[in-house]
Amino acid sequence: MEEEGMDLIDLLKALLKNWIILVVFLVLGITIGCVYSLFLLPDEYEAKSSLLVVISHDGEPVEYDYNNSLMIINTVKELSKQSIVLEQVATNNNLNIEELSEMVEVSNPSSSLLLVVTCKASSKEASLSIANDMTDVLIYQCTNNPELAMIGNSLIKTSSAGNSKYVGKNKAFTSIAIALIILAIGVVVALFKEYVVKGRKKTSKQDLN
Range of the domain at 102: 45-166
Cα torsion angle, 142, 144, 145, 148, sign: positive
pLDDT tens per residue, range 89-145:
999 999 999 999 999 999 998 878 899 999 999 999 999 999 999 999 999 988 888
CA distance linking residue 87 with residue 65, whole number of Å: 32
Q: Does residue 175 share a domain with residue 157? A: no
pLDDT over threshold 60, residue 3: no
CA distance linking residue 22 with residue 32, whole number of Å: 15
Q: What is the DSSP letter of 41?
A: S
Tell me what percent of the residues of the chain surpass a pLDDT of 90.
57
**Once rounded to an integer, what is the mean pLDDT over residues 189-205?**
77
The domain spanning residue 89 has which CATH number? 3.30.70.1130
Residue 209 inside a domain? The answer is no
pLDDT over threshold 70, residue 5: no
Cβ atoms 157, 51 nearer than 8 A:
yes
Task: Please state, rounded to an integer, the average pLDDT across all residues of the chain.
Answer: 86
Residue 72 inside a domain? The answer is yes
Structural domains counted in the chain: 2
